[in-house]
Amino acid sequence: MREAHPVERSVGMAYYVSDADGTGGRLRDSPADFRVRELEAVDPEPVEADSGSYPHLLLRVELRGWDTNDFAGALSDKLGISRERISWAGTKDKHAVTTQLFSIDGVDPDDLPDLRDADLEVVGRVGRPVLFGDLAGNAFEVVVREPDRPEAVEAVTDDLRTFAGAEGSVTDDGVTVGVPNYFGQQRFGSRRPVTHEVGLALLGEGFEAAVLAYVGNPSDREPERTREARAHVEETRDWQAALERFPGHLGYERAMCHRLAEVDGEPGPADFRAALETAPTNLQRLFVNAAQSYVFNEILSARLERGLPFAEPVAGDVVCFRDRDVDALAVPDTGRTQRVTDGRLETVRRHCERGRAFVTAPLVGTETELADDEPGEIERAVLEDVGVEPAAFDLPGEFHSEGTRRAVLVRTELEVKHEPLTFEFALPKGSYATVLLREYLKTDPEGLE
């Protein structure tokens, strides 16, 4: 194993599993260099279906240079509706060309506006909003510009084939590679990775600490004006002055400061909760989800340190089973799990070898039951070190989480093309392209965003 970049280590990604040198290079010189297409798992009714029974209009949208949240906001503004009436199956980065599903409650096709760099295709109607579970995965086509060592691809691929437990697995569609199913840097923020710190503060000290972790907490990787505004918040708690100091593009920080500046006297816990709840509901959920993700990453790094396998279980592990295939992509069903005992170990290993089962680790929540034996020791040690226990996730509103489990390994069929260096692959929902690409480039994670 090879030690990861310090910024990656700060969010729990302690290692590369490939010891080989990276290619270097840059991603996203233009949005067209990073193409993402959702692998859909939705069966809509025709657009002519009764809008009373199927009130949500389903769209397939190609976006060029749009952040998902920003597009949803612009679309709601154009339609003159609350943004809460717009839902999507997966969040995408703005520095890409993305094809993804959106649903809109209570609008007709004729209501749809024109928006720059966005092509909207009506695909039908659904009875409920599209949600994260409606996405099977994503297909990627990623170009690396000006790699320093393009020849390094072969050595990295050999290492990742071994990690996948798929030596010799080469098909017409590419080669099977695997990486730890880390949550990527964008889960936490590439320039200022703090969303997990907000969540951990919320789980521990409460709403005031969470607001300060988001609004304060300056990073050396930010512009000077932004650092100064955050430092001023921490030093003075002068919310009105902070509102005047924050640049206009930091809308969420400004909204929190504005809410607290309206308070007559010193803000109390209810005021800090209200300030945090000025963020969109998906961002509120992200704070706690990012804390879960950080703990998960730490568990995976500890598993690597212990030398436990990822492609097959050991006694005490909890596995989940294969749900379905979408475009030949195996999707884990984390709702179907089984503890691995010594008596079942060989049988479950064979299931994992055939891609029918997956070793998991917890995304900790109120309903989490930890693994047994050595995997359980790892999970308990990480939770103790972080200072989090499952009961802490019993929070109000969007901040509550019952938890689930997640596969520790992600495999994919990878095809590599040269001139320009291009990677083509597909991943199940919730897995990050940059977690695979970081193994190949081995650069500052900001260059992967």
Q: What's the pLDDT band for 326 if we cut at 50, 70, 90?
A: low
One domain, residues 87 and 103: yes
Identify whether 10 is part of a domain: no
- Show the domain range for 121: 43-129
Looking up residue 96, the CATH number of its domain turns out to be: 3.30.70.3160
One domain, residues 217 and 365: no
Q: Mean pLDDT across the stretch 257-276?
A: 95
Identify whether 9 is part of a domain: no
Identify whether 286 is part of a domain: no
What is the pLDDT, as a whole number, of residue 132? 78
Domain boundary among 279, 311, 330: 279
Q: What's the pLDDT band for 314 if we cut at 50, 70, 90?
A: very high
At 231-243, the pLDDT tens digits run: 999 999 999 999 9
At 404-447, the pLDDT tens digits run: 999 999 999 999 999 999 999 999 988 999 999 999 999 988 76
Q: Mean pLDDT across the stretch 144-160?
A: 95
One domain, residues 241 and 204: yes
Q: What's the pLDDT band for 168 if we cut at 50, 70, 90?
A: very low
What is the pLDDT, as a whole number, of residue 171? 58
Number of domains observed in the structure of the chain: 4
pTM: 0.89
pLDDT above 70 (res 449)? no
Identify whether 6 is part of a domain: no
What is the pLDDT, as a whole number, of residue 262? 94
Label each residue of the chain as H, E or C. Answer: CEECCHHHHCCCCCEECCCCCCCCCECCCCHHHEEEEEEECCCCECCCCCCCCCCEEEEEEEEECCCHHHHHHHHHHHHCCCHHHEEECCCCCCCCEEEEEEEEECCCHHHCCCCCCEEEEEEEEECCCCCHHHEEEEEEEEEEECCCCHHHHHHHHHHHHHHCCCCCCEECCEEEEEEECCCCHHHCCCCCCCHHHHHHHHHHCCHHHHHHHHHCCCCCCCCHHHHHHHHHHHHHCCHHHHHHHCCCCCHHHHHHHHHHHCCCCCCCHHHHHHHHCCCCHHHHHHHHHHHHHHHHHHHHHHHHHHCCCCCCCCCCCEEEEEEEEECCEEEEEEEEEEECCHHHHHHHHHHHHCCCEEEEEEECCCCCCCCCHHHHHHHHHHHHHHCCCHHHHCCCHHHCCCCEEEECEEEEEEEEECCCEEEEEEEECCCCHHHHHHHHHCCCHHHHC
At 13-64, the pLDDT tens digits run: 999 999 999 999 999 889 999 999 999 889 999 999 999 999 999 999 999 9
What is the pLDDT, as a whole number, of residue 173? 62
pLDDT above 60 (res 327)? no
Identify whether 5 is part of a domain: no
One domain, residues 348 and 374: yes
At 196-240, the pLDDT tens digits run: 999 999 999 999 999 999 999 998 888 999 999 999 999 999 999
What is the pLDDT, as a whole number, of residue 144? 96
One domain, residues 153 and 228: no
One domain, residues 403 and 312: yes
One domain, residues 209 and 297: no
One domain, residues 315 and 399: yes
Q: What's the pLDDT band for 172 if we cut at 50, 70, 90?
A: low
One domain, residues 297 and 403: yes
Looking up residue 210, the CATH number of its domain turns out to be: 1.10.1510.30
Q: Mean pLDDT across the stretch 166-191?
A: 79
Share of the chain above pLDDT 90, in %: 81
Domain boundary among 279, 309, 334: 279
Identify whether 144 is part of a domain: yes
One domain, residues 242 and 262: yes
pLDDT above 80 (res 297)? yes
Q: What's the pLDDT band for 177 if we cut at 50, 70, 90?
A: very high
What is the pLDDT, as a whole number, of residue 414? 95
Q: What is the average pLDDT score of the chain?
A: 92
Identify whether 188 is part of a domain: no
What is the pLDDT, as a whole number, of residue 448? 66
Looking up residue 432, the CATH number of its domain turns out to be: 3.30.2350.20
Q: What's the pLDDT band for 134 if we cut at 50, 70, 90?
A: confident
Identify whether 7 is part of a domain: no
One domain, residues 303 and 343: yes
pLDDT above 70 (res 324)? no
333 included as an active-site residue: no
One domain, residues 402 and 425: no
At 82-108, the pLDDT tens digits run: 999 999 988 887 889 999 999 999 999
Catalytic residue among 93, 159, 271, 317: 93
